Amino acid sequence: MAKVTIAVRDLMGNIRGEACGEDQAILVFEQEYKKGDTIHLSVEKSNSFYVIRIDDALDESLVYLTDSYMLYTIPFNDKRMAYNPKAFTGNIHYLTLRRAEEYEVNNYRNLAKNIMDQPGNPNCFPHVFANVETRGQAIFAARTVIDGMVANRSHGKWPYSSWGINMQDDAELTLAFGRPVDFDRIVLYTRADFPHDNWWTEATFQFSDGSSEKVGMEKSSKPHVFSIVRKNITWLRLGKLIKSGDPSPFPSLTQIAVFGTEAGKIV
């Protein structure tokens, strides 16, 4: 058994609400969030898997924490447009933190999904980042490609958020797992708001083991599924994106999924 804690703190660091427990903490926060509020997650055992519900309007996230402490910044104003509009609103909130069960961790699953990924969470995996994001807007942030939302027939606010490359030819996106994983399938949902959007005909995956894989794509709203087998991979990078000859300058990625297991059974 190990102690875990969830706390909501204001801009000055004062505790507005807190819950702790052995291997599980449940916080019912019966107040409205104020600008500057943050959520603080503490665990006694780092380098371990946890299941976190950061808001009752969002799914749980199965994550790997490499530190005993994590800060989550509550989104406000334009940043909230990349989330379910019911999230982080109202005067009652349900937050949970618990140690992940062995069967959850060892399942064959989407190893890329993390609804609560943020740029300021480098110790919470999976984690995604890019060398460009369109205008720095939350609706075009890299984090949106691992939030589980695959609606790709439009663009803009949730549920149509996507990674925008700001028309940059050398755009790259890196997905870090934080530990070794094995996988056999990568799926890309490219944005398909035609004719507003362009599309990529080709892309290249680079992997932490030094290998790479070139893939082809077509103009489609359907998922692009690639049978790519790799073992003991800690990160992958999507780059060398070649757009089609269509007149639109706006290709974009809605979601990436990586299906596999942990590299070795976790107990």
The domain segmentation of the chain, as residue ranges, is 3-100, 120-262
> Could you tell me the two tokens for 253?
């990625």
Chain segment 61-77, per-residue pLDDT in tens: 999 999 999 999 999 99
CA separation for the pair 133, 123 (Å, rounded): 21
Q: Is residue 58's pLDDT more than 70?
A: yes
* Average pLDDT of span 48-55: 98
For the domain spanning 120-262, the CATH number is 2.60.120.260
How large a percentage of the chain has pLDDT more than 70? 100
CA separation for the pair 131, 255 (Å, rounded): 17
Give 55's contacts (C-beta < 8 A, 6+ positions apart): 87, 88, 93, 94, 95
CA separation for the pair 183, 111 (Å, rounded): 8
- For the full predicted model, state whether its pTM sits above 0.85: yes
- Of residues 121 and 151, more confidence is placed in 151
pLDDT of the residue at 267:
66
CA separation for the pair 134, 132 (Å, rounded): 7
CA separation for the pair 206, 32 (Å, rounded): 44
Give 173's contacts (C-beta < 8 A, 6+ positions apart): 128, 129, 130, 142, 145, 163, 237, 238, 239, 253, 256
> Could you tell me the two tokens for 80?
């909230």
Q: Is residue 122's pLDDT more than 90?
A: no
Chain segment 229-258, per-residue pLDDT in tens: 999 999 999 999 999 999 999 999 999 999
